[in-house]
Amino acid sequence: MVISKKRDAFTMIEILVVVFIIGILATLVGPRVIRLLTKGNVSATQATLAALKTDLVEYKQDMGHFPTAKEGGLDALIDRPNIKGNERWDGPYIEGQESVPLDAWGNEFEYNLPPIRFKNKYKIFEIVSEGPEGEEKPLVAGA
């Protein structure tokens, strides 16, 4: 009588080969995936900056000026500012939001009126996103 042995498990060598192959794939594909995610975050933040710029222009059309720090800065796009002439406010100017949106990395935008950081590029205002962990090249919109 011949007894055959069934093989029910993987050997250690087989497991190590699979782990090695997964490691190589992660090394090759990982940086590309991260680069694509970063590009997506940059594009999303640029779209938000463009929308905020449009919202600020609408605010100016109604109020006669861009929101100042006294009016709450970008918050004046959501909530009626407590200033003289606020009856002209026809907001909220940011549709479907209860607060000013954040950039794609979860950081608040920096709004300066007049421009502080990019005063050579913009004359009236600037909106700045530092990007992930305060990149050297921030994303900026302004007028």
Q: Does domain 45-142 have CATH number 3.30.56.10?
A: no
In the chain, where are the structural domains located? 45-142
pLDDT digits (tens, 9 = 90+) for 59-91: 999 999 999 988 889 999 999 988 888 899 988
Q: Which residues of 53-80 are buried (b: 16+ CB within 10 A; e: fewer)?
A: eebbeebeeebeebbeeebbbbebbbee
Sign of the CA dihedral 88, 89, 95, 96? negative
Query: CA 132, 134, 135: angle at the middle one, nearest 5?
Result: 80
Instruction: Say if strands 110-112 and 139-142 run parallel, antiparallel, or are unpaired.
Output: unpaired
pLDDT digits (tens, 9 = 90+) for 13-48: 989 999 999 999 888 888 887 777 778 888 999 999
- pTM score above 0.75: no
